[in-house]
Amino acid sequence: MKKIITLFVTAGMLFTMASCTAQVDETADPVKETELETAENNNPGETEEEAGMRIPNPWSTFDTLDGAVESSGINLLIPDEFKSQVTAYRAIAGDMIEVRIALDGKEITVRATDVTADDISGDYNTYPVEFVQDIQDLSVAFRATDDSTVNVASWADETYSYCLISTEGISKALASDVVSSLIMENTNAY
């Protein structure tokens, strides 16, 4: 009787182990049927559930500065010397404006929003070089990877907070010139 019980228990264990092992079909397509494969999907291989959890991009792109100003409600002015080098106008509706400019083979981004104490650059890197310079009677905070370049500049007037961002870094002289031109253009407008 013990041998029969042992035989059944052993057979049951073998059956259980056999049903738990999965065979891998190496010729099968690794893309799951539930994954999105549409042109609108920015993350190929993302499931529909994951796509539904993404935060929508708040930025809208515009053909003109006027369109971005109207959308954002921020009256940013771009100095004439930079207008021909603008590569993009973007805005977050009712909140922030962004203008991208190609200078000396590098792209810089200029942002503005209502006055805030928050960092509006979106660049949360820690930079080894930080300094403050007075330009046009405003205090401008600079952050950089070294003593010869600038990656981020931030300042505020009575109406708006501004920043200049260059991920590649631009020369200190160019950064100061751009900030000075932006301050002159925007503070004289009010």
Q: What is the pLDDT of residues 112-142, one digit of tens each?
A: 999 998 899 999 999 999 999 999 999 999 9
Residues 6+ apart with CB under 8 A from 147: 129
User: Which residue ranges in the chain fall short of pLDDT 70?
Assistant: 1-46, 51, 188-190
Q: Give residue 187's pLDDT.
A: 82
Q: Give yes or no for a contact between 130 and 152, defined as CB atoms under 8 angstroms apart.
A: no
Q: Give residue 16's pLDDT.
A: 57
Q: Give residue 13's pLDDT.
A: 59
Q: Give yes or no for a contact between 151 and 169, defined as CB atoms under 8 angstroms apart.
A: yes
Buried b (16+ CB within 10 A) or exposed e, 27-36: eeeeeeeebe
Q: Give residue 34's pLDDT.
A: 32
- Global pTM exceeds 0.85: no
Say which amino acid occupies 187: T
